[in-house]
Amino acid sequence: MNNVQLIGRLGSMPRGGVVNGSCFSNLSIATNEVYINRDGERVTHTAWHRVVCWGRIAEFSNEYLTTGRLVLVEGRLQYRQYTDQQGIVRNVAEIVARKVKALDAKPAQNSLPSAHVSSPNQHFYQ
């Protein structure tokens, strides 16, 4: 089973567009792990995650999500390669979202829909 669940904050505004007629959005999500080290000091480790959204989920992300928002992301882990502008082959791990939900209230608005996919071909708002 390939299933990922993250709760974290958006590190930047969603970057989206349209490719071959499909709407997409790229998100950068920060998650924190807090622990006490051997010296008794509290340590916070922040990990950054790439998230890719398609279709209605991307439309939701592009319209409603902003930097700093707390979000729940559910999806699958995907690995891929690409060649950058300098011709270097890069390996990327990213989450392909099946569900994105805002967990905090948008400024000046108290309720938001969430977007998720119940099956690979059906997109709808919850």
- pLDDT tens digits, 5-55: 999 999 999 999 998 999 999 999 999 999 999 999 999 999 999 999 999
CATH number of residue 11's parent domain: 2.40.50.140
pTM value is 0.77
Model confidence band, residue 106 (pLDDT cutoffs 50, 70, 90) = low
Residue 100: φ, ψ to 5°: -135, 125
Using CB atoms within 10 Å of the CB of residue 24, give its burial: 0 to 12 exposed, 13 to 18 middle, 19+ buried: buried
Q: Answer whether residue 102 shows pLDDT above 90.
A: yes
Q: What angle do CA 116, 6, 103 make, to 5 degrees?
A: 65
Estimate to the nearest angstrom the gap between the alpha carbon of 103 and the chain centroid: 13
Number of domains in the chain: 1
Q: Is the pLDDT of residue 126 over 70?
A: no
Query: 46 is in which domain, residue-wise?
Result: 4-125
Residue 29 half-sphere exposure, CB side, CA atoms within 13 Å? Answer: 28
pLDDT at 105: 79
